[in-house]
Amino acid sequence: MTSARDRDARRRVMVTGYGAVTPLGHSVEETWTAMLAGRSGIDIVDAIDVTGLAVRIGGQVRGFTPSRYMPPQVSRRADPYAQYALAAALGACEHAGLVVDDRLAPRVAVIIGSGYGPVGSIYRAAHTLRDKGPRAISPFAQVTTAMDSAAAEISMRLGTQGPSRAQSTACASGADAVGAGMRMISHGEADIVLVGGADACVTAVDLAGSGNAGALSRRNDNPTAACRPFDAHRDGFVMSEGAAVLVLEAAEVAEVRGATALAELVGYGASSDAHHWTAPHPEGRGACLAVEAALHDAGITGEDVDYVNAHGTGTLLNDATETAVLHRVLGDRVTRIPVSSTKSMTGHMIGAAGAVELVASIQVLRTGDVPPTINCDEPIDPDINFVPHQAQHHQGMRIAVSNSFGFGGHNAALVVRAV
């Protein structure tokens, strides 16, 4: 547990930039505008053959042009998940006004989370080996089909010389990557860390597997209404893809650079359910531990929270459990603040989800505008303001919590404060 003395001694961590590639757009601005409009990015999947699949809907990144962000030799070798991560990282650096020069490079790190990694490239390599034999396999296959390929591509493109690594904790990967980056800065291991998450798992294998597990919505006839977090008629999450990357900086480094702080990252907590591969603990034991740890790390209580970006997947078990967790951890405060799930519009971007949702949480603090939970026609808890259907404006937003809970019992929560 973090003591008050430890909090006072550690370096403050500022968010100075972010970029995103999502089913709603190829930038934070496009994604945020779509969120506030309540626009869904979910549709029938057309990038792959979905013939015979029980689930044929997903949140695809449409119209993405790799040549806008990278030379052909990179796009040819890089899996789409790494392409999205690189594009988001370039957007984040531009937003932060960050140029990694020789002086900064040794103190700049990269941590990219992913639940599935370069699965498309793995499947293609397996098919090539089967159909054409070993001589047809690319010499880059062993590195570009690795989980760390997104972090490596970003590091090589930007010239960062601090640690670069992958983080994989299923749906909590993006949030855990942010938390790891926060710890690196606060403990003096790095001055700047590019953190975030990426996934491109709208594939036949992953749609089939998650569909057979009963985790996915089967509303193929009405894709935009399929993801229904906290609605009584929800029937599963929607598989999606994308990426988000944030620039974290030690406060004093950002000040010297003349960078604008968008928010302060003040709390992080993580835990494990130790219960089941796909089902959350029925009493939300692990989720409670993560949220409580994040609040304690930030030196605040539930009464200080002004907004929650919920994990809110639209599955029967997650939404019921998360609702109970919020009541337990926040007490009566949860009935007086907005709680929304942006997955209702983006779908579940797996490893990218926590990073995208942290960006949305910061935007809420900066603007006072709260994105809605669309398709929430019959809320499972009438005492909570799930921001149904339409965005809301709230004054005086100072503290936001972003939750991420994943398969395998991985839980992570982040706390950000307005500056």
Q: Provide the annotated active-site residues.
A: 171, 311, 348
State how far the Cα of 50 lies from the Cα of 47, in Å rounded to an integer. 9
Decide: 238 and 350 in contact? Cβ < 8 Å: no
State how far the Cα of 318 lies from the Cα of 171, in Å rounded to an integer. 12
Q: Where are the alpha helices (DSSP H) in 227-284?
A: 251-257
Question: What is residue 243's three-state secondary structure?
Answer: strand
Q: Where are the alpha helices (DSSP H) in 38-172?
A: 72-77, 80-96, 119-132, 141-144, 149-158
> Which DSSP symbol is given to 218?
-
State how far the Cα of 152 lies from the Cα of 65, in Å rounded to an integer. 20
Those residues whose C-beta lies under 8 Å from the C-beta of residue 372, and which sit 6 or more positions away, are 35, 38, 340, 344, 387, 388, 389, 390, 391, 392
Cα angle 403-262-338, degrees, rounded to a multiple of 5:
40
Please count the residues of the chain: 419
